[in-house]
Structure 1
Amino acid sequence: MNIAIITIFPEFFEGPLNVSLVGKARATSLLETAVVDLRTFGVGPHRQVDDAPFGGGAGMVLQAEPLANALEPFANTHRVLLTPGGDQLVQGTLDRWASLESLTLVCGRYEGIDERIAQHFIDEEISLGDYVLLGGEVAALAIIEGVTRLLPGAVGNAQSVETESFRDGLLEEPQYTRPARWRGWDVPEVLLSGHHGRVEEWRRRQRLERTRQRRPDLLDQG
């Protein structure tokens, strides 16, 4: 899969793209990434990429021309704008994107981007949630991790991807590892029983209860 990131801070990605599963996926060419510095397409001797908003107001807006020029090489990809005003990112969106050949992530900044770019050069607008960050770079990294782990061969045990939170509309059950007793707290006995049927029944009950307590909205959606 190919993922391009358009940003005014390319150095933001130097470390994260080279570690963990993302780094391994890139090393084996399972994932190809291109970090595009928007300022390369800036206007004038100072490579300007932003300007004051029409109508007045605080902050700056990323200009249309630099963004259009940066996006044109990726016209045949699925182009996603990362913005607080977008649809909230959910697991189903990552599943859908993981089946694509190419994805382009546009990192918003300041007060946003010229709306004409959003209307004519963007296929989808996505937000991490109901809060505002300094820009779209953190969201881009979240998406890259979320998509990479879904690529065939990226995760050592593919079953771990199929049995996690949100796969069946529920949160994942509690997890335990050795030792069975730690500081006086014991692992649930059923997990030590070796009885796979009872273990699966316990896990299902735990997923339901945890979802009911923490994310009842997921049950309402079901």
Structure 2
Amino acid sequence: MNTTSPDLIPAPTPVRLPVAGKTVSGHFPVRRVYCVGRNFADHAREMGATAPASKADRGTPVFFLKPTDSLVLDGVAHYPPGTQDLHHEIELVVALGEDAPPGVLSPEDAGRLVFAYGIGLDLTRRDLQAAAKAKGLPWDTGKSFDEAAPISALVPAADLGDLAPRTLSLEVNGALRQQSTLDMLIWDVPEILHELSKLYALKAGDLVFMGTPAGVAALQPGDVCEGALDDVLRLDCRIAPPR
């Protein structure tokens, strides 16, 4: 006798990111999307926060999550409802290919979990975020919404090599708005995975948006965004009118 209950509504289609490497190709099924706030000192300062003067002053990273189905794979993100101030934030994205062992992951062991890298836009309803921050409330409405995370294809970590000297950048309508080398991250990839493991069970399929450099600014319907990590990763995105 079949004891399995049937689905009563259609099951959501899993989100799968294309992977295009020198020796590896296929698709990466996404489980969760973690995000890091204020992970570049210049961006922390432009948002009115105090940037740490040294590693000892860093405190604790700021984390939040985006829905997996907020990822945009086709490069078209509609201007969201409820805001008059949508901002771009270009970010390195880390894709995990293995489950973390139980307990707290050491930074020294974190690297082996990383399968691939991409770049993404952490689209932000800045007016809603600012209103929530002013009242000491969570940022969810400012950060977590439909089509909030346009993302590139992934490139295997082995194809990128050392991240530190690579340059992350974003142009909007052909004008450069954001640019930084990745050695300017306050918390690097192993350190962020270590800190996340104190709070969550990291698993294969997880993505981590690593934070944005200075230069965040407003987007309007019709704007064209071109993100890049040197000449290795590219993200093309257009802001469409509201649905």
Q: TM-score, normalised by structure 2?
A: 0.22
When Rg is computed on C-alpha atoms for both structures, the one with the higher figure is 1
- Decide which structure has greater helix share: 1
Higher RCO (CA 8 Å, separation ≥ 6 residues):
2
Q: TM-score, normalised by structure 1?
A: 0.24
- Decide which structure has greater strand share: 2
